[in-house]
Amino acid sequence: MALDDVKASKRKSDPGVRVIGGKIYDSSNGRCCHQCRQKTMDFVASCKAMKKEKQCPISYCHKCLLNRYGEKAEEVGALIDWRCPKCRGICNCSCCRKKRGQSPTGILTHKAKASGLSSVSELLEVEGHDTFSYQKKKPKLENVSNGDVVAKDSNKAAGKIKKALNKIKTGFPKAKLEDAFVEDAVAKENNKATSKIKKVLNKTKTGVPKAKSVFISLSCIQDVAKENNKVTGKLKKALNKTKNGFPKAKPEAASVEAVAKENNKVAGKIKKAKTTNKMKEEEIQIEAKLPNGISLTNVSGIDIPTEETGNVLQFLEFCSAFGKALDLKQGHAKSIVAAVFGSGRNTRRQQYCSVIPMMIQLMELISHDRDMSLSLSATDSTWFSSLGECLLQSGVLSDVFPPETFKSGVSEYKKMDASARLKLLNFLCDESLSTLKMRNFIENESKESDTKEREAKEKAAAAKEKEKQLRQKIQGDLVKAHMEKKGAPLSMEEHHKVLAQIKAEAKEAYGEMLKATSRKRQRCDAVRTDPILLSDDGLALWKLKCFEEEPKFLLQDVGGTFDDLSPHEKWLAFKPEQKQEIEKYISANRMKMMLAQKNANVEIN
């Protein structure tokens, strides 16, 4: 084998100083541990035994010595006559065990601790040295490089032959197939595969003196030849059938049967995929269920009828999103809801102090956008007649509020119940969203939100870069500390001190990165609020800004499907201790949606 054929190693010859887990690796100045064969700057215990008038060069790092033999590196390092496990004949590393005719143990530290023993050495004494045996899995023949070549070529040949068979079965309506062409194609493909197999055999026969050769057994080659012969036989039979003119069956029937078989195979695979995904969906549904909620009849300390909960939440969410555009003070929306439902003293006075002024403010906003000059006041009936004109122009709620209602004056408003007043208020809120002022506000808020998100991304990238630079700085400081000690390993105390510093600074940098990342995910308040989850049985899970009671989740039950809304919807709240169950239910439903998408992709493919 030529030197050019040898692939360059991806591993660097000198990776430098790395801090991984609780170890400091240094390929240049580190001391190599006989057990794990890693060069680290950790405290190591060196053997004091003399061999041929020279000190034993073997060392063990503090972790291996403690986990594998139950000895503390600092204690044995202070001893003058300490002999390493290898000199004592008890070393259980993979090399020493192989020399003694035993198999490597693999990782047994966790098993030893779980058994209540102090070390792996003690576990081997108790269980027996031959009890544990770790062996690497042997690669399959298909994974061998030369074997891959043979398998791929035989697959290519078989694939092309199958294509020829399919063409013969379908009867070639647009082009005729000549027998010689098919036979030549088969011969060419077989010759290609055979020539590559011969090349592999020649390589293994000649051998390479300084490189490992990969041998392919004759049985493997014979198997490939048999498969090619089988496929060639099938092709010949198909050719003979076309020559004889299908005495017992028509070509169309044969092609239909072949297509039916292939379709059945594909359908079988799809069914298997569907059944496995359905089983997963059933498991998810069994594991995660939405907890039972409590009927929501009190919002922000205000008692409200069950059937009006949705309308109240709609108004409060509007005020929380657009309170800045309307110059609403904090708590103003709650006082309006309290006045509508007659909560507190002087209810009639509250109507004129909060509810009607809110309606007038919204009507002035709408009239200004429609080039209508209105001078409205709560003391006369003009605001009520103007409200009727807005309803008439919009063409909504005509069945609830007929036009003659607003011709009788404010006396009709006084006769209205809380539900009707709240509907008028929500109507004006919806109409105001189409005004120029509100559209500009939404656009500005969206731009501001995008700017904040962009700044958050930049801060997250800066925090990530800071964390990277911090790691490089720590590695530089470690190198400097080693140079000052002239390459001597760190003591246990120095080791723990350095690791504590690394963890503290890395934690701070990581915290900054997480904080910047969380800012990226904040939603613009002026954007439409969407439910977290929607189900086919008319359930919607919401998280509204206006509802701040823990766990901040609300369930809307429309009593049917969303296509056919029922007027008697229900809103349910949850207890704080049910938050974990709700989050589990959300994640399970998202997983279910992903599985459904996979099913759809399988059907398409």
111, 134 Cβ separation under 8 angstroms = no
Output the pLDDT for position 44. Answer: 87
The alpha-helical segments, DSSP class H, found in 245-355 are 251-287, 309-326, 332-340, 347-350
Quick one: average pLDDT of 580-593?
A: 88
Output the pLDDT for position 26. Answer: 77
Evaluate if residue 115 carries a pLDDT over 60: yes
Evaluate if residue 376 carries a pLDDT over 60: yes
The alpha-helical segments, DSSP class H, found in 288-408 are 309-326, 332-340, 347-350, 356-369, 382-394
Q: How far apart are CA 24 and CA 499, in angstroms?
A: 9
Evaluate if residue 493 carries a pLDDT over 80: no
In a 10 Å sphere around its CB, with 0-12 CB exposed, 13-18 middle and 19+ buried, how is residue 551 labelled? middle
Please state, for a pLDDT cut of 90, what percent of the chain lies above it. 24
Read off the pLDDT band of 248 (50, 70, 90).
very low
Looking at per-residue pLDDT, the higher value among 529 and 204 belongs to 529
Side chain identity at residue 467, one-letter code: E
Quick one: average pLDDT of 365-393?
A: 84
- The tokens describing 594, both together, are 């992903």
Evaluate if residue 177 carries a pLDDT over 70: no
Read off the pLDDT band of 351 (50, 70, 90).
low
Which of 75-79, 118-122, 269-273, 562-566 is the most confident on average? 118-122
Evaluate if residue 217 carries a pLDDT over 50: no
Q: What is the pLDDT of residues 538-553, one digit of tens each?
A: 889 999 988 888 888 9
Evaluate if residue 144 carries a pLDDT over 50: no
Evaluate if residue 129 carries a pLDDT over 50: yes
Task: Give me the chain's average pLDDT, please.
Answer: 74
Output the pLDDT for position 71. Answer: 93
Q: Which of the residue ranges 41-50, 195-204, 256-265, 304-313 would you say has the lowest mean pLDDT?
A: 195-204
Evaluate if residue 37 carries a pLDDT over 60: yes
Output the pLDDT for position 238. Answer: 53
Output the pLDDT for position 193. Answer: 53
Quick one: average pLDDT of 511-516?
A: 69
Quick one: average pLDDT of 252-264?
A: 55
Q: What is the pLDDT of residues 309-344, one digit of tens each?
A: 999 999 999 999 999 999 999 899 999 999 988 755
Quick one: average pLDDT of 204-228?
A: 45
- The tokens describing 340, both together, are 């509508």
Convert 191-214 into a string of H (helix), E (strand) and C (coil).
HHHHHHHHHHHHHHHHCCCCCCCC
Q: Which residue has the tokens 């506000």?
A: 441
Q: How far apart are CA 590 and CA 588, in angstroms?
A: 5
C-alpha 208, offset from chain centre? 48
351, 332 Cβ separation under 8 angstroms = no
Output the pLDDT for position 222. Answer: 52
Q: Is 301 left (phi over 0), alpha (psi -120 to 50) or beta?
A: left
Please state, for a pLDDT cut of 70, what percent of the chain lies above it. 60
Residue 522 burial (CB count, 10 A) = 11
148, 142 Cβ separation under 8 angstroms = yes
Evaluate if residue 77 carries a pLDDT over 80: yes
Which residue, among 526, 529, 557, has the nearest Cα to 543 in the 3D structure? 529
Evaluate if residue 400 carries a pLDDT over 90: no
Looking at per-residue pLDDT, the higher value among 348 and 112 belongs to 112
Residue 562 burial (CB count, 10 A) = 14
CB within 8 Å of 534: residues ≥ 6 apart: 540, 562
Evaluate if residue 80 carries a pLDDT over 50: yes
Read off the pLDDT band of 424 (50, 70, 90).
very high
Output the pLDDT for position 124. Answer: 92
For 219, the enclosing helix (H) or strand (E) is helix 218-244
Output the pLDDT for position 266. Answer: 57
Quick one: average pLDDT of 522-532?
A: 71
Residue 137 burial (CB count, 10 A) = 5
At 569 the three-state DSSP class reads: coil
Looking at per-residue pLDDT, the higher value among 381 and 58 belongs to 58
Evaluate if residue 63 carries a pLDDT over 70: yes
- The pTM assigned to this predicted structure is 0.52
CB within 8 Å of 196: residues ≥ 6 apart: 149, 150, 153
